[in-house]
Structure 1
Amino acid sequence: MFLWLRHEILLQGLLERLASGEVIIGDGGFVFALEKRGYVKAGPWTPEATVEYPEAVRQLHREFLRAGSTVLQTFTFYASDDKLQNRGNYVEQKISGQKVNEAACDIAREVANEGDALVAGGVSQTPSYLSCKSETDVKAIFRKQLDVFIKKNVDFMLAEYFEHVEEAEWAVHVLKESGKPVGATLCIGPEGDLAGVSAGDCAVRLVKAGAELVGVNCHFDPTTCLKTIKLMKEGLEAAHLKAYLIAQPLAYHTPDCNKQGFIDLPEFPFALEPRILTRWEMHKYARAAYDLGIRYIGGCCGFEPYHIRAIAEELAAERGFLPVASEKHDAWGSGLAMHTKPWVRARAQQAYWEKLVPASGRPYSASLSKPDSWGVTRGDKDLIQQKEITTENQLKEMFEKQKIVSGM
């Protein structure tokens, strides 16, 4: 019989928990969830909501905690100074990156203290790197965020969402200055990073840079991400290196994505809902991740609290308890036995939901998409960032390229 919550537990650090065999459950995607709720602007995807709408951020943290998350990431995705002033963004000038990052740390810590959760201070890829700025310049950007994380005493550091392992290495170098544990995740698929470095070599480079925890996040679905992590694991084994593994994929099916992931899908970002994984598919993901040896299992864009609850429920036996949110969710739909309709009561069984193949509801709907394969990466003139808002002429140029590439 499971306890709903663990009580009288000595709070330990990330590495101590992992070393003891504990399964760490991450949280989900903040920018997508808060965009849908009206607190984040699609396009810049920056986290000024920590200052402008702190209660919205606080409530989402609280929902993930209730669903079973044992790590709350500070909402500092794309919170670097250069991103907060990129292409007309007002945040750096009107609010400041420091205030955004400080508020993110305060909110995450407040909610983490309501349960048995750790706080992770996170940095992500920068416009400066994509614009070919120097290693010194890029590291200076990371260091500004690190100063806040040190001041606010987060529990560990996470370099996440990097398309190029080189930039992730630079981030790890900086985050190691904190003396805290450091994790690093790349948004890559089985083909490796955008510079052509294999998944296995990426893992080796991150561990040699100092990361104690490596893996992938975002850009791809659980199936693809686990394939990538398997390659990373094999790379580490071949190099006789050890690290804990972390998986935080999308909550969207992406079998038709190319090397750059879901950003290339024509549905990105406003029409991805038909691709969302069900809670039952999250059970399969959690089990497959655990069987692969991954002990930090969470999610990224598209992950809502009920997805995290599914992970916690699938791994309840290994963890020894269920999350609070399971009080209103009986295992495998067994609560449907209370339904008034007999055909719905007949669905109160695991066998039904495990075998179900959901319909799209759209007549003649496409099963797959043709990704936009523009083939641009670091150094391409279209990726060079600017403080000024994108001009009408620049947009027209993009529209014309889109016609050529997509055949419109």
Structure 2
Amino acid sequence: MKSIFPEASGCITHRQLSVAFVQGSPNHGGPAWVFVASTPRSSAGHAQGILERLDAGEIVIGDGGFVIALEKRGYVKAGPWTPEAAVEHPEAVRQLHREFLRAGSNVLQTFTFYASDDKLENRGNYVAAKFSSQKVNEAACDIAKEVAQEGDVLVAGGVSQTPSYLSGKSEADVKTIFRKQLEVFQKKNVDFMIAEYFEHVEEATWAVETLKESGKPIAATMCIGPEGDMHGVLPGECAVRLVKAGASIVGVNCHFDPETCLKTMKLMKEGLQAAKLKAHLMSQPLAFHTPDCGKQGFIDLPEFPFALEPRILTRWDVHKYAREAYNLGIRYIGGCCGFEPYHIRAIAEELAPERGFLPQASAKHGSWGNGLSMHTKPWIRARARKEYWENLLPASGRPYCPSLSKPDSWGVTKGDAELVQQKEATSEDQLKELFQKRSQIQHRT
């Protein structure tokens, strides 16, 4: 039997639906769905906030990656990875938000990654002078809030690590950078705040302390693996420090694949339990396999950023990730770089029994490939079952492609002179020095 979806001209706005199962064909991977709408609201009649949803035991599905997705589409420049597309190409940002919403996202993050004053003028970037960080942040908030009106979803204003911190600037200087973004988020009245993509827990706590001034809920995620942050602070201690700083939701994002991120999340959870602290858990990993990554994650891989495609997770890999994250007790589950809308849809489909509904995008995607039963070729029809896709080991199609890479390992982090940032564009002489150092490192290893 096929799924029966509520009829709607826009995106499905129901967060909770009662659902009855009817017997489906075993070749199609399980039961079919019948939907009955029931949209919960708070007693005041408003859509529930992030903490209300998580406190009630709801599964919140985040969105996916923006900078890599928009770079591939021709709207973001690799290297700076800054979000001026919100001003220059708002239609591209709007469409990606809409696709994540249609795929099942409950949260739309403002496209404000690396949208701080210092990043937008770092190493020759023109954005600060041409537009200003305020205009970029305002445009990103406006776009996210516009799309959020199409569904019962929340908008999160986000800040990330700064060149100022890597350059050794003071706590006051770094907090001033965060505060300028926060002023826009408060003006635009986003629903909650996210401090994401931090390699150092010290800077992450500074971000949380600054965002706390808003009075809104704060989620904080670090781009670390099981070894901890770049100064050796272990995941459990990172989680404790973030909660003590004021975060109600803690976890990891980016830099590592789901398997590695969930190992880190387990350590964070154990750290919080040992400290007798409570917080909701959040995971937004890469959509790339990274078993060979070192402490700093995928940015050390020789394939970063232009040759990562052979590492992309399949939608079935994401099904596995979503189930394992749920079993670990994580209730805010999303993705970061490489996560496209179809990956987010896979999370929503895997957790549909617990959530009680499917996203609108599932109307064009049969459960575990059962739409292939309509294919003209019999060997393709034979793939219309869960067992086939769940057990498939995809080939790369590259006869001489190694299964693992040897990551770059320069061993520099905050406090190293080589990480002091500059306003001027990188010079040819500076590049030559880097090329020479790379050759020396490769020769030694």
TM-score if structure 2 supplies the norm length?
0.91
> Equivalent residue for 1:259?
295
CA-based RMSD: 1.0
Matched, 1:140 2:162: no
Unaligned runs of 5+ in 1: none
Match of 1:39 among 61, 70, 75: 75
- State how 1:5-154 maps to structure 2 within 5 Å: 5=12, 6=14, 8-10=39-41, 11-154=47-190
> Matches of residues 199-214 of structure 1 in structure 2 within 5 Å?
199-214=235-250
Q: Percent of pairs identical after alignment?
A: 78
CA positional deviation for 1:407? 2.8
Which letter does structure 2 place at the counterpart of 1:242? Answer: K
Distance 2:443 2:112 in 1: 38
SS of the residue 2:155 aligns to:
strand
1:215 corresponds to: 251
For residue 365 of structure 1, report the CA deviation from its aligned partner: 1.5
1:289 equivalent in alignment to 2:325: yes
Tell me the residue number matched to 1:332: 368
1:364 is displaced (CA, Å) by 2.5
Aligned to 1:160, what secondary structure does the other structure show?
A: strand
List structure 1 runs of 4+ shifted beyond 3 angstroms: 1-5
1:306 aligns with 2:342: yes
Which whole-Å deviations, capped at 9, do the CAs of 1:89-126 have from their partners, x for residues lacking one?
00000100000000000000000110011000000000
Residue 381 of structure 1: CA displacement? 1.4
Task: Pick from 385, 393, 403 the counterpart of residue 421 of structure 2.
Answer: 385
User: In structure 1, how many angstroms separate the alpha carbons of the residues matched to 2:230 and 2:186?
Assistant: 31
Deviations 1:344-370 (A, max 9, x none): 000000000000000000013100000
Amino acid at match of 1:359: A
Contact 2:227 2:234 in 1 (8 A): yes
Give the secondary-structure state (helix, strand or coil) at the position aligned to 1:245: strand
Q: Which residue of 2 aligns with 1:398?
A: 434
Segments of structure 2 that go 5 or more residues without pairing to the other structure are 7-11, 15-36, 42-46
Report the counterpart of residue 25 of structure 2 in structure 1: none
Partners in 2 of 1:63 and 1:398 — Cα distance? Answer: 40
* Bigger radius of gyration: 2
Shift of 1:290: 0.2
CA distance, structure 1, for counterparts of residue 132 and residue 62 of structure 2: 28
Distance 1:267 1:91 in 2: 27
Do the aligned residues in 2 keep the contact of 1:2 with 1:321 (CA within 8 Å)? no
